[in-house]
Amino acid sequence: MRRFLLLPLLMAVSSFVLAQNAGSTPAVITIPVVVHVLYNNAQQNISDAQIRSQLDVLNKDYSGTNADRSQTPAYFANLAADCGFQFKLASQDPDGLATNGIVRKYTSIQYFSNDDRAKSATNGGDAAWNRDQYLNIWVCNLTGGLLGYTSAVGCAAEKDGVVISYTAFGTMGTATAPFNGGRTATHEIGHWLNLRHLWGDTYCGDDGVDDTPQQRASNRGTPTGERFTCGNTAHGDMYMNFMDLTDDASMHLFTLGQRQRMRALFASGGARQALLSTPALQQPSALVKAIPSVAETTLPSSFMVVYPNPASETIVVDINTKEAVSGKLVIFNAAGQPVLSQQFNSNHAVVSISQLPAGIYYLRQGNTGSFVKFMKR
């Protein structure tokens, strides 16, 4: 099992952003997240609760409030940082519609690798949302023991984000020991925020951060005590750092220097500065025209079927055409407000409605102008 950085970080970008004054950024930087769940079977279609468990880990790890922070040895404790980041599931999708920040998509692909197919709708994955407004996380079945990988800062926009195995995401459900502490995402998002592995991805290399001791290569498993490599001084490797490769239970800190490097991306001219003004966390306010009468909105049952109806947690949408269809399903409340949207790529889609209040709703496929009525209880 391993964590993996897809591309070498762009040193020109790194040098530039580190030269900026990070003092102009907010004390706490809030990053909107969209989680693309790619599933080939029911097990891979992880629950909303499992996704929320991962967000909880991220918010603790990046604020230095994780409980296992107390395990940091005294000789490194003064370097441990509150990095000043929080992560929230998006409230608004790229079209300005309400979203719960989770996209669920069935895929015929049984295994993904580090070739970015997960980020391509035409290759069985799901397209990235605008990287200037969202952190894209794809959760899928990764092959070859791969836990996750990350794009480089400055990569092509459609490839920007993090891919995580469904067996290493969050702290419950399908998350599997020893990688069931949510630290794979903490580690990979560290790369997304311009951190390198502690050994600089070369023998006794440099990660570009002054307060992380030089080390020979990655540490694995659950090391204890002082571990000296590369002739590093004082207390040896900082193997409990999130940017090493130990088991989840053994990693629990970022340093002050790593904090500075990450936050520099959000300073004036920084590669991720645009995220500071994203509308992704705002509640959509635009109204569409009033929903027509029930008689006008109901599509022939031979075209689109929604069941169960009433429903409480999920609805299943079957579109009865001979040709395969894809696009967007949009749910409106009784006032005509769009409250939820989801991409689909087949004639059969499962939509989570657990976050919606009880009431009457209308489902529309794309911009067809016709609706199917259902009840949330």
Phi-psi region of 173 (alpha: psi -120 to 50; beta: other; left: phi over 0): left
Q: Given this model, what pLDDT does residue 173 score?
A: 97
Torsion sign, CA atoms 93, 375, 351, 31 = positive
DSSP string, 217-229: S---S---S-B--
- Paired residues of 376 in beta bridges: 311, 359
pTM: 0.77
- Encode pLDDT of 325-361 as tens digits: 677 888 888 877 778 888 887 788 899 998 888 998 8
**CA-wise closest residue to 330 among 304, 296, 302, 294:** 304
Angle at 105 between CA 101 and CA 106, to 5 degrees: 160
Residue 294 has pLDDT above 60, yes or no: no
pLDDT of residue 207: 96
Task: Report the pLDDT averaged over residues 301-325.
Answer: 79
What is the structure's pLDDT at 158? 96
Among the options 188, 226, 296, 313, which is catalytic?
188
Confidence band, pLDDT 50/70/90 cuts, at residue 212: very high
How far apart, in whole angstroms, are the C-alpha atoms of residue 241 and residue 251? Answer: 5
- Residue 283 to residues 20, 91, 96, 97: CA-CA distances in angstroms? 32, 6, 9, 9
Average pLDDT estimate for 158-170: 98
Is residue 315 within 8 Å of 351, Cβ to Cβ? yes
188 given a catalytic annotation? yes
Residue 237 in 3-state DSSP?
coil
Kindly report, residue by residue over 220-243, the tens digit of the pLDDT: 999 999 999 998 778 999 999 999
Dihedral sign from CA coordinates of 109, 344, 45, 101: positive
What pLDDT does 2 receive?
46
Kindly tell me if the per-residue pLDDT of 246 is higher than 60: yes
The percent of the chain in helix, strand and coil, each rounded to the nearest 5, is 20, 25, 55
Mean pLDDT estimate for the chain: 87
Report the pLDDT value the prediction gives residue 300, as an integer from 0 to 100.
46
